[in-house]
């Protein structure tokens, strides 16, 4: 949510700014609603003031023991108009609120203009894609042989649930678990994060706070019944909302949290996309990093956060590149986003494995997350989030990058203690 003052001042430049995202702000509608709101609010407050005055007079008269009947008669018919004004005002404010909840965050000046991911800009590259002297297989071909020791079992996922669900067995399941462990250990031991274990089900206030609602409800899995609960699409939601409706002390900042959770996404509108393998699933696991910071520190924090995600890939010896998302590809709440794309030999391409965003005060304003600043005034914090990393996609990357000619997978050194082996998926016979 943007500062309401922006909707009252220079609407045209706000509209121009939002146009970078192809978001069309209807200036006339906002203007007319704002005008009516201002008039009605003034009038309502005047009437409220009158009512308060009269009520106090009656109270005082009664305390003195005077006859209050004449005063009561005088004040009798005031209520209707006030009620009407209050009702109309609430309705107007509801409309303005709905608009402001649907407006995306302002982009940082450093974000390049562009329509789609094709216009994202490479910031840096790390590692060299490995040259293979045999035919490269993708993670599906590498793991779908059920006769072998470990497997990615897509058929069973479809059997027990449906499409875009996967069952992992044996060594693959263990490698997956090892990856999540490794990431958590790294972030807590070396990057200064507090580890949290949070609910995987959240209420709509939390989803509104981080801005998945009201606009992106169709991306979520909602629970049946009248609880109003949803499965989390990312642990960004529970982690960030820990500071909802809070006034923090400056000493509390920065807050750096990490958690390993499943993520549930309906993937509405992605029917033909990434249907092969476990790149795009309805359920996947992710180690998330969230920063709650002083507003002046958030841009430094974005670099730091991105570096923490990169550190995971470097220790796993996986080649990647860092991209600045262009204006058209940057998410709703973000002012600026770095995507980290890992090299996938099976796709002969870099694919997103982490997304690190500075949401500035956008989520904080929705959540009313503030701190008491140097002057003793309340001020909105800035929030950041990033994947550190998507575990399933990291699994894919390890499998594809570390494959051997015989179909086995060599395990990165840092994972070997957790996996308990230096090679998995060894052929059982010749």
Partner RNA sequence: GGAGAGGUGGCAGAGUGGUCGAAUGCGGCGGUCUUGAAAACCGUUGACGGGUUAAACCGUCCGGGGGUUCGAAUCCCUCCCUCUCCGCCA
Scanning 272-406, the segments in alpha helix (DSSP H) are 298-315, 362-367, 391-401
Residue with smaller CB distance to RNA, 28 or 226: 226
Tokens of 420: 């308990």
Q: Which of 15, 33, 75, 222 binds RNA (CB under 7 A)?
A: 75
Residue with smaller CB distance to RNA, 111 or 380: 380
Place of tokens 């998926």: 425
Please count the residues of this chain forming the interface with RNA, following the rule CB under 7 A: 33
- Which residues from 335-364 bind RNA, rule CB under 7 A? none
Q: How far apart are the first and last CA of the chain?
A: 61
CA–CA distance, 43 with 86 (Å, rounded to integer) = 10
Q: How far is the CB of 224 from RNA (least distance, A)?
A: 15
Residue with smaller CB distance to RNA, 36 or 351: 36
3-state secondary structure (DSSP) of residue 373: coil
Q: Which of 55, 97, 270, 413 binds RNA (CB under 7 A)?
A: 55
Quick one: which segment of 46-54, 166-174, 235-243, 420-428 binds RNA (CB under 7 A)?
A: 46-54
Full strand arrangement of the beta sheet holding 247-248: 247-248, 370-372, 378-380
DSSP 222: B
What would the x/- binding string for RNA be over residues 372 to 411, using CB under 7 A? ----xxx---------------------------------
Q: How far is the CB of 365 from RNA (least distance, A)?
A: 9
Quick one: which segment of 48-56, 167-175, 286-294, 326-334 binds RNA (CB under 7 A)?
A: 48-56
The H or E element containing residue 350 is strand 349-358
Half-sphere exposure of 400 (CA within 13 A, CB side): 28
- Which residues from 194-253 bind RNA, rule CB under 7 A? 247
CA–CA distance, 209 with 246 (Å, rounded to integer) = 12
CA–CA distance, 340 with 325 (Å, rounded to integer) = 10
Quick one: which segment of 42-50, 121-129, 230-238, 310-318 binds RNA (CB under 7 A)?
A: 42-50
Q: How far is the CB of 54 from RNA (least distance, A)?
A: 5
Which residues partner with 293 through β-bridges? Answer: 382
Q: How far is the CB of 92 from RNA (least distance, A)?
A: 13
Q: Which of 12, 13, 16, 48 binds RNA (CB under 7 A)?
A: 48
- Which residues from 79-138 bind RNA, rule CB under 7 A? 79, 90
Q: Which of 36, 43, 51, 95 binds RNA (CB under 7 A)?
A: 51
Q: What is the CA radius of gyration of the chain?
A: 27
Per the CB < 8 A criterion, the answer to whether 290 and 238 are in contact is no
Q: How far is the CB of 58 from RNA (least distance, A)?
A: 4
Quick one: which segment of 75-83, 181-189, 322-330, 342-350 binds RNA (CB under 7 A)?
A: 75-83
Tokens of 235: 């642990």
Tokens of 289: 């990093």
Residue with smaller CB distance to RNA, 83 or 124: 83
Residue with smaller CB distance to RNA, 83 or 276: 83
The 10 Å Cβ neighbour count of residue 39 is 12
**If binding is defined by CB under 7 A, does position 63 make contact with RNA?**
yes
Residue with smaller CB distance to RNA, 208 or 394: 208
Cis peptide preceding 214, ω within 30 of 0: yes
Give the list of residues 6+ apart from residue 120 with CB closer than 8 angstroms, or none.
Answer: 112, 114, 323, 324, 325, 326, 329, 339
Residue with smaller CB distance to RNA, 56 or 115: 56
User: Cα dihedral sign for 302, 351, 207, 12?
Assistant: positive
Which residues are near RNA by CB under 7 A? Answer: 4-5, 8, 41-42, 44-46, 48-49, 51-56, 58-60, 62-63, 68, 72, 75-76, 78-79, 90, 247, 370, 376-378
């Amino acid at each position: 949510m943007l500062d309401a003052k922006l909707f009252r001042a220079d609407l045209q430049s706000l509209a121009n700014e939002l146009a970078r995202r192809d978001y069309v702000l209807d200036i006339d509608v906002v203007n007319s609603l704002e005008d009516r709101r201002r008039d009605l609010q003034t009038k309502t407050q005047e009437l409220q003031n009158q009512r308060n005055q009269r009520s106090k007079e009656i109270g005082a008269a009664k305390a003195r023991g005077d006859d209050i009947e004449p005063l009561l008669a005088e004040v009798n018919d005031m209520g209707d108009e006030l009620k009407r004004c209050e009702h109309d005002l609430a309705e107007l404010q509801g409309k303005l609120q709905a608009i402001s909840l649907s407006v995306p965050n302002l982009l940082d000046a450093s974000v390049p203009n562009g329509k789609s991911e094709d216009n994202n800009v490479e910031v840096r590259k790390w590692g060299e894609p490995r040259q293979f002297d045999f035919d490269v297989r993708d993670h599906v071909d590498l793991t779908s042989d059920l006769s072998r020791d470990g497997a990615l079992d897509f058929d069973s996922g479809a059997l027990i649930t449906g499409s875009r669900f996967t069952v992992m067995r044996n060594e693959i399941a263990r490698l997956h678990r090892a990856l999540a462990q490794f990431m958590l250990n790294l972030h807590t031991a070396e990057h200064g994060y507090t580890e949290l274990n949070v609910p995987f089900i959240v209420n709509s206030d939390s989803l509104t706070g981080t801005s998945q609602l009201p606009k992106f409800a169709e991306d979520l899995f909602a629970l049946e019944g009248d609880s109003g609960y949803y499965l989390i699409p990312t642990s960004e939601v529970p982690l960030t909302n820990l500071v909802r409706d809070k006034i923090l002390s400056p000493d509390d900042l920065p807050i750096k949290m990490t958690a390993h959770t499943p993520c549930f996404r309906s993937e509405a509108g992605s029917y033909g996309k990434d249907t092969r393998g476990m790149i795009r699933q309805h359920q996947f696991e992710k180690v998330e990093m969230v920063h709650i910071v002083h507003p002046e520190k958030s841009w430094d924090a974005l670099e730091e956060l991105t570096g923490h995600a990169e550190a995971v890939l470097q220790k796993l010896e996986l080649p990647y590149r860092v991209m600045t998302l262009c204006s058209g590809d940057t998410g709703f709440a973000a002012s600026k986003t770095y995507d980290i794309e890992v090299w996938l030999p099976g796709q002969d391409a870099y694919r997103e494995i982490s997304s690190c965003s500075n949401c500035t005060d956008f989520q904080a304003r929705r959540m009313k997350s503030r701190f008491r600043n140097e002057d003793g005034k309340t001020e909105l914090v800035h929030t950041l989030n990033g994947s550190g990393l998507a575990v399933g996609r990291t699994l894919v990357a390890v499998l594809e990058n570390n494959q051997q000619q015989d179909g086995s997978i060599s395990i990165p050194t840092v994972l070997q203690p957790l996996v308990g082996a230096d090679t998995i998926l060894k052929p059982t016979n010749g």
